[in-house]
Amino acid sequence: MNNKISLLYLATALLALLLGMLFGIFSGLQYILPEFIKEILPFSSLRPFHVTSVIAWIILCAIGGIYYYLSNSDGPRLYSNRLSKIHYLLFGGIGILIYYNYAIGNFGGKEYLEFPPYLILPILIGWLLFGINYYKTMAGKVKDWPVYYWMWGTGIVFMVYHLSEAYLWLHPDMKNNFIKSLAIQWKAGGSFVGSWNMLVYGTAIYVMAKIKGDDSIGRHPKSFFFYFLGLTNLMFGWAHHIYIVPTAPWVRYVAYGISMTEWIILFHMIYEWKKSLPESAKIKNLISYKFLVMADAWVFLNLILALLFSIPAINFFTHGTHITVAHSMGTTIGINTTILLASVLFIVNQIKPNFNLSQVKIGFRIFNISLLLFWLSLLIAGMKRSYWMYFTKGIPFAEMQSQTHWVYVSFLLFGIGIFIGLLLIVVPVLKIIGGTFKQGKQMKLITNEKS
């Protein structure tokens, strides 16, 4: 296989996922045992550790997949393996620095990017290297790009733009104006998510096309409509994140409409693909197929939740409760993580087609059930909190928390279920990736000895 760095990306991403979930479980434990390891890792540190690790999982897995597909498909060949190596070392080094800063309590950033602000500079350099490598690979070499190439290319460019924008708050003009600073922070944050969605949704369409062995889904007008809708959402969809900021109402309605339509189209595309897929193609990539179908179900569930809580009258009651957390974890686990696992398992199936799936299948079932119950626990916790905030008087916070105790316990147990399910999937995958590296080294030794 070409470009082993892509596999290192995938292995690092999977390790970040496991580590991120452990931090999530520790955070959940502090919901019910507030003193648990509080002296070493308080909730204020655990949360950024958790969120940064799972975002690293999503981004590194998407990048690793793109490097792999560009290096190993019949289409374009990656312009430079060396650039991809430098990119990996840079991101690896930054990752260690971020963990170190969190461990010593040195924050200084804002929501989702809580590390010291100077670290954004090497991160931007990494994205620029990725962009140069991508466009040098593609420009002039591929005719009539299928939609996934457009999505990846756009995701990279907008990632650079929006990550830079996310630091505008450092400018005194923004820093001293609360409304401006809040609006720009949420705008950039929403578009940052939109940019990684371009990489992840592009990956979903790529994997669907390759499983079916038919690229027409990548060239279909519906796919391009989805792309332009996603792009509009990336640029303007942030407005549905800032209901509390006083902006013109029409801006929110347009943003809301676009984000909901985008999900309806994605749901429809996966559904149509599933219906038209021949049985033999399903069997050949069974587990990737199952993950894509699972992603479709989660698009549907999140769509219903988002349709409801984006109605301003309902949003008023849900804002700041665990219903918002159910939305962000429901989408990052239910949609992003499942699509990316479909991609990793598709790659592993190419490397080792006779890979034993029994453990992965058990993991898939445990993950699937736990995620649904985990998500429902968050919704119940959110509703209880909202009821306490708006419909009761004089009940102290501690009493409300103790009444919600059993909900937090179930949240934690189902979180552990997600961890166990994913562990059963990730460990065999990591073993295969490790085995491919060993084989590569042995081949090199044999070639060196012969020459």
Site of interaction with ligand HEM (CB under 6 A): 17, 21, 24-25, 27-28, 47, 50-51, 54, 324-325, 328-329, 332-333, 337, 412, 415, 418-419
The smaller minimum CB distance to ligand HEM, of residues 402 and 439, is found at 402
Please count the residues of the chain.
451
Burial class (CB in 10 A: 0-12, 13-18, 19+), 299: buried
Q: Which two tokens stand for residue 80?
A: 């430079």
Nearest CA to 21 among 56, 58, 54?
54
Residue 208, exposed/middle/buried by CB under 10 A (0-12, 13-18, 19+)?
buried
DSSP letter (8 states) at residue 337: I
- Per DSSP, the residues of 219-279 read H-HHHHHHHHHHHHHHHHGGGGG-TTS---HHHHHHHHHHHHHHHHHHHHHHHHHHHH--H
Q: Which is nearer to ligand HEM, 28 or 155 (CB)?
A: 28
Closest distance between ligand HEM and the C-beta of residue 333, in Å?
4
Least separation in angstroms between residue 353's CB and ligand HEM is: 27
Q: Note the Cα 252 to chain centre separation in Å.
A: 24
Q: Which 8-state DSSP code applies to residue 336?
A: I
* Residue type at position 49: F
- Smallest gap from Cβ 150 to ligand HEM, in A, equals 26
Give whole-number Cα distances, 343 to 120, 188, 240, 287, 294, in Å: 28, 27, 30, 10, 13
| CA–CA separation, 119 and 111 (whole Å) | 15
Secondary structure of residue 120 in the 3-state scheme: helix
> Which is closer to ligand HEM, CB of 181 or CB of 324?
324
- Measured from the CB of residue 280, what is the shortest distance to ligand HEM in angstroms? 31
Of 61 and 123, which CB lies nearer to ligand HEM in the complex structure?
Answer: 61
Nearest-5° Cα angle at 32, 27 to 35 = 75
- Taking the alpha carbons at both ends of the chain, their separation in whole angstroms is 21
CB atoms within 10 A of CB 271: 14
**Min. distance of Cβ 127 from ligand HEM in angstroms?**
20
Q: How far apart are the C-alpha atoms of 392 and 388, rounded to whole Å?
A: 5
Using the minimum distance from each CB to ligand HEM, give the nearer residue, 332 or 368: 332
Minimum CB distance to ligand HEM smaller for 328 or for 401: 328
Q: How many angstroms separate the CA atoms of 326 and 383, rounded?
A: 11
| Shortest reach from residue 219's CB to ligand HEM, in Å | 31
C-alpha–C-alpha distance, residues 413 and 420, integer Å: 11
Closest to ligand HEM by CB, 212 or 322 = 322
How near is the Cβ of 24 to ligand HEM at its closest, in Å? 3
Q: Which CB sits closer to ligand HEM, 16 or 70?
A: 16
Q: How far is the CB of 186 from ligand HEM (least distance, A)?
A: 12
Q: Which is nearer to ligand HEM, 138 or 341 (CB)?
A: 341
Residue number with CB closer to ligand HEM (37 or 139): 37
Integer CA distances (angstroms), 137 to 70, 132, 208, 215, in order: 8, 8, 22, 20
What is the nearest approach in angstroms of ligand HEM to the Cβ of residue 25? 5
Instruction: Indicate the residue among 201 and 419 with the shorter CB distance to ligand HEM.
Output: 419
Asked if residue 421 lies in contact with residue 363, where contact means CB atoms within 8 angstroms, the answer is yes
Backbone phi, then psi, for 110, in 5-degree steps?
-115, 175
The nearest distance, CB 324 to ligand HEM, in angstroms, is 5
Residue (79 or 309) nearer to ligand HEM, CB: 309
CB of 214 to ligand HEM, least distance (A): 31
**CA 254, 259, 262, 267: dihedral to nearest 10 degrees?**
-140
Task: State the minimum distance, in angstroms, from the CB of residue 412 to ligand HEM.
Answer: 5
CA dist 182 and 164 (Å) reads: 16
